[in-house]
């Protein structure tokens, strides 16, 4: 393959030498330049970017176009130039090759020190390097042991309905041709006779006009008729259809102005011509919500702090809910005030907490902890100049970037990150108009995953205060709150339900003060779990449970993800064409119904059937089914044992006889 003949820089002595991908071996130190592809699964050592970070695009692996951040271990940052890289000596102990793209467990042993490795230090084959001059890495998996190769499978060929019908038609024509030729050949063999001498055939085709050997006449006539009737088979039909499809793609679909997106300057692109005619025969469309029906551009829209709701405005989903109730809301009612701030990731309108006004609110301490949680509890990386107007944030998800952008606009400007510190420029904290740069030492990060549904950060203030900040799904955070303050919890729960009904994405924010003894005792267990090669994720989750408890709720956030432009009209048109549309969403039932109204998936004339059950009831039913299977297995085993004993007894009885 040509890709294996592509070249990459490999360290030889103290200089880089261009080497084909196919020559790479485990343990080679390689250099990948900007926009280049990783030739193998690499352990990320160093980067030309400060703080040992790089940006990668994983579109070839998971289809996601947003950039991902990878971070090298601080101990390996210096191995950028070949002279330094040649001094690298270490041992990598890691898991066996597997096809999991999002997990990696291992340890790097350097200078008798064991350093745990995570997916943040893994660069997978097939990904490309972006916004980074070059990186240096060590090859740990090559060829068929790379994760992308272990995920590869034989892609089944797709054939359209037209092609399948053509295949059947061609087979029918072949059968017709064969039948005609057989009948003609047999007839020729039967009716050949000397009395037709006047045709003068004997002198020219002796074998084919020979009444004495009718079998030979039949066979020869068969081939003659096949030659004569072969035009019944449309040999050029497939070629003609392929040419028509090619013209449809290149001249019609790719140049269709109705399918051109002006904002992103993106025309329609037909990647294959196999299924052109299927576009007019679609019966079902299965779609998810986020990024398909919505823009996947998250904006901080509302919040609740200390039991007080902040933010004004009406979402598209609320308009859908009003339509469901038969109430029409004009766009004028949703207009923002002149003081509203609208920038990327932030679309908020409430003067009560803007520009330091939160100091005059009933719960200024809760506001302060809320904003600090937004500014500290994340894994976002800042880019550009360290000013609020020119900085940009690189985040693993647009939600995180929106929350950090919100903290900036509330006066808690996160502008710099080092491996151990987060720098926040705080405004109006000590007094109105005061600005101070505050370093927060990041001691531990308990990262978000689909099982935990939360993220926590343990940080140390300049005065020595130890705080755990946590943000996550409402049901997960509420389970870990300390006793007391029931009124605030109840009010916040009501606010969460209101945000959910408006189609907003919600998160709860909480914190906990830690004593030095509590933290040191817990941190020992955390370090042990992080260094474990077996079940590391499970052990880290168990250790996190020990500290993520007795939390104090400070509030919740509400982020809006607007519908794509033209989605309601598009769905209405597709529905009118008789196409059935299914949409998958992780929202609550009421929110999902309002979203369905907002995107015109349903209307007031639609009959609704709600099939619902609590998670506990579903698990109980699954357990009952599992127990039933176990019981049936036990009965089967008992019967098998009884039958075997009976056969043995019968055999012995016969032997005695």
Cα 61 to Cα 95, 117, 289, 323, 555, distances in angstroms? 20, 21, 21, 41, 37
Is 586 marked as a binding-site residue? yes
Residue 295 near residue 180 (C-beta atoms within 8 A) = no
Q: Residue length, the chain?
A: 657
Residues 252-283 have pLDDT tens digits of 999 999 888 887 788 888 887 877 888 888 89
Q: What pairing do the DSSP bridges indicate for beta strands 421-427 and 412-417?
A: antiparallel
Q: What does the alpha-carbon distance between residue 260 and residue 268 come to, in Å, rounded to a whole number?
A: 6
pLDDT at residue 335, as a whole number: 60
pLDDT above 70 for 117? yes
pLDDT at residue 195, as a whole number: 59
The two three-digit tokens of residue 650, written as one number: 């019968």
Is 159 marked as a binding-site residue? no
All structural domains of the chain, each given as residue ranges with its CATH number in brackets, are 3-151 (2.70.150.10), 161-233 (no CATH), 283-293+564-610 (3.40.50.1000), 300-558 (3.40.1110.10)
Paired with 129 in beta bridges are: 56
Q: Which has more confidence, 291 or 104?
A: 104
pLDDT above 50 for 238? yes
pLDDT at residue 616, as a whole number: 63
**For the ranges 30-39, 51-60, 63-72, 573-582, which has the lowest average pLDDT?**
63-72
pLDDT above 70 covers a percentage of the chain that reads 87
Residue 25 near residue 39 (C-beta atoms within 8 A) = no
> 547 exposed, middle or buried (CB, 10 Å; 0-12, 13-18, 19+)?
buried
Mean pLDDT of the chain: 85
Q: What does the alpha-carbon distance between residue 385 and residue 83 come to, in Å, rounded to a whole number?
A: 32
The two three-digit tokens of residue 152, written as one number: 């590869």
Sign, CA dihedral 69-70-75-78, equals negative
Q: Which has more confidence, 119 or 1?
A: 119
Is 290 marked as a binding-site residue? yes
Contacts of 638-642 with C-beta under 8 Å, sequence gap 24+, read none
Residues 125-137 have pLDDT tens digits of 999 998 889 999 9
pLDDT at residue 518, as a whole number: 94
Section 237-259 average pLDDT: 89
Q: What does the alpha-carbon distance between residue 374 and residue 377 come to, in Å, rounded to a whole number?
A: 6
The two three-digit tokens of residue 586, written as one number: 């992780």
Residue 149 near residue 143 (C-beta atoms within 8 A) = yes
Section 460-477 average pLDDT: 94
Q: What pairing do the DSSP bridges indicate for beta strands 29-33 and 7-12?
A: antiparallel
Confidence of residue 2 (pLDDT cuts 50, 70, 90): low
DSSP code per residue over 124-181: -TT-EEES-SEEEEEEEE-GGGSHHHHT--PPPPP--HHHHHHHHHHHHHHHHHHHHH
Is 252 marked as a binding-site residue? no
- How far is C-alpha 580 from the geometric centre of its chain's CA atoms? 25
pLDDT at residue 324, as a whole number: 65
Is 400 marked as a binding-site residue? yes
Residue 13 near residue 86 (C-beta atoms within 8 A) = yes
288 is catalytic: yes
User: Which residue reads 């009965």 in tokens?
Assistant: 635
Is 448 marked as a binding-site residue? yes
List all residues 6 or more positions away from 113 whose beta carbon is below 8 Å from its beta carbon.
Answer: 75
Is 333 marked as a binding-site residue? no
Residue 34 near residue 129 (C-beta atoms within 8 A) = yes
pLDDT above 80 for 432? no
Paired with 302 in beta bridges are: 558
Residue 511 near residue 552 (C-beta atoms within 8 A) = yes
φ/ψ of residue 100, rounded to 5 = -80, 115
Residue 388 near residue 394 (C-beta atoms within 8 A) = no
Nearest to 396 by CA among 102, 48, 42, 117: 102
Is 505 marked as a binding-site residue? yes
Out of 62, 288, 535, 633, which one is annotated catalytic?
Answer: 288
Residues 533-547 have pLDDT tens digits of 778 888 989 999 999
First to last CA, the chain: 75
- How far is C-alpha 537 from the geometric centre of its chain's CA atoms? 20
DSSP code per residue over 456-506: EEEEE-TTS-EEEEEEE-HHHHHTTBPS--HHHHHHHHHHHHHHHHTT-EE
Neighbour count for residue 308 (Cβ, 10 Å): 19
φ/ψ of residue 33, rounded to 5 = -90, 170
φ/ψ of residue 581, rounded to 5 = -115, 130
Residues 636-654 have pLDDT tens digits of 565 555 455 444 444 433 4
φ/ψ of residue 66, rounded to 5 = -70, 145
Nearest to 270 by CA among 279, 283, 262: 279
Q: Which has more confidence, 374 or 429?
A: 374
């Amino acid at each position: 393959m040509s890709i294996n003949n592509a070249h990459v820089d490999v360290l030889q002595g103290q200089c880089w030498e261009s080497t084909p991908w196919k020559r790479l071996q485990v343990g080679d130190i390689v250099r990948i330049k900007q926009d280049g592809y990783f030739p193998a699964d690499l352990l990320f050592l160093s980067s030309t970017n400060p703080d040992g970070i790089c940006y990668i695009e994983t579109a070839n692996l998971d289809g996601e176009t947003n950039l991902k951040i990878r971070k090298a271990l601080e101990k390996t940052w210096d191995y950028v130039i070949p002279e330094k890289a040649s001094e690298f000596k270490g041992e990598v102990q890691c898991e066996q090759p597997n096809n999991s793209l999002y997990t990696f467990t291992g340890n790097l042993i350097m200078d008798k020190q064991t350093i745990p490795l995570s997916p943040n230090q893994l660069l997978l084959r097939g990904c490309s390097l972006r916004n980074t001059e070059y990186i240096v890495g060590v090859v740990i998996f090559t060829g068929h042991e790379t994760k992308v190769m272990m995920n590869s499978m034989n892609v089944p060929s797709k054939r359209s309905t037209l092609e399948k019908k053509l295949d059947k038609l061609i087979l029918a024509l072949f059968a017709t041709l064969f039948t005609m030729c057989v009948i003609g050949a047999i007839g020729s063999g039967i009716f050949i006779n000397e009395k037709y001498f006047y045709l003068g055939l004997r002198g020219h085709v002796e074998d084919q006009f020979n009444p004495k050997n009718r079998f030979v006449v039949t066979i020869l006539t068969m081939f003659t008729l096949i030659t004569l009737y072969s035009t019944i088979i449309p040999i050029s039909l497939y070629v003609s259809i392929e040419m028509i499809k090619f013209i449809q793609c290149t001249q019609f679909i790719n140049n269709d102005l109705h399918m051109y997106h002006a904002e992103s300057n993106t025309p329609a692109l037909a990647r294959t011509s196999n299924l052109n005619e299927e576009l007019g025969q679609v019966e079902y469309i299965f779609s998810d919500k986020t990024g398909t029906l919505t823009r996947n551009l998250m904006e901080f829209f509302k919040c609740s702090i200390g039991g007080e709701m902040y933010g004004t405005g009406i979402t598209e989903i609320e308009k859908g809910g009003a339509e469901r109730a038969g109430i029409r809301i004009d766009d004028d009612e949703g207009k923002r005030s002149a003081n509203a701030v609208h920038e990327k990731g932030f679309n908020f309108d409430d003067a009560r907490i803007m520009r330091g006004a939160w100091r005059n609110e009933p719960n200024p301490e809760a506001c302060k902890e809320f904003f600090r949680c937004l500014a500290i509890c994340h894994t976002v990386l800042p880019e550009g100049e360290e000013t609020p107007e020119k900085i940009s944030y690189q985040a693993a998800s647009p939600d995180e970037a929106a929350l950090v952008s919100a903290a900036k606009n509330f006066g808690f400007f996160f502008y710099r990150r080092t491996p151990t510190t987060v720098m926040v420029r705080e405004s109006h904290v000590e007094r109105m108009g005061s600005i101070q740069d505050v370093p927060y030492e990041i001691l531990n990060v308990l990262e978000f995953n689909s099982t935990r549904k939360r993220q926590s950060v343990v940080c140390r203030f300049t005065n020595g205060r130890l705080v755990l900040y946590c943000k996550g799904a409402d049901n997960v955070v509420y389970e870990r709150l300390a006793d007391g303050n029931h009124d605030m919890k109840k009010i916040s729960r009501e606010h969460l339900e209101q945000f959910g009904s408006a189609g907003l994405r919600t998160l709860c924010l909480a914190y906990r003060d830690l004593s030095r003894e509590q933290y040191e005792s817990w941190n020992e267990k955390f370090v042990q779990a992080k260094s474990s090669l077996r079940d590391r994720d499970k052990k880290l989750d168990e250790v996190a449970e020990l500290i993520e408890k007795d939390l104090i709720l400070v509030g919740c956030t509400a982020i809006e993800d607007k519908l794509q432009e033209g989605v309601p009209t598009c769905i209405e048109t597709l529905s009118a064409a008789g196409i059935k549309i299914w949409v998958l969403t992780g929202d609550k039932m009421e929110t999902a119904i309002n979203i369905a109204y907002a995107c015109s998936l349903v209307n007031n004339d639609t009959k609704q059937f709600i099939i619902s059950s609590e998670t506990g009831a579903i698990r109980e039913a699954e357990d009952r089914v599992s127990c039933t299977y176990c019981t049936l297995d036990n009965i089967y085993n008992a019967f098998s044992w009884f039958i075997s004993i009976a056969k043995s007894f019968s055999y012995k009885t016969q032997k005695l006889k």
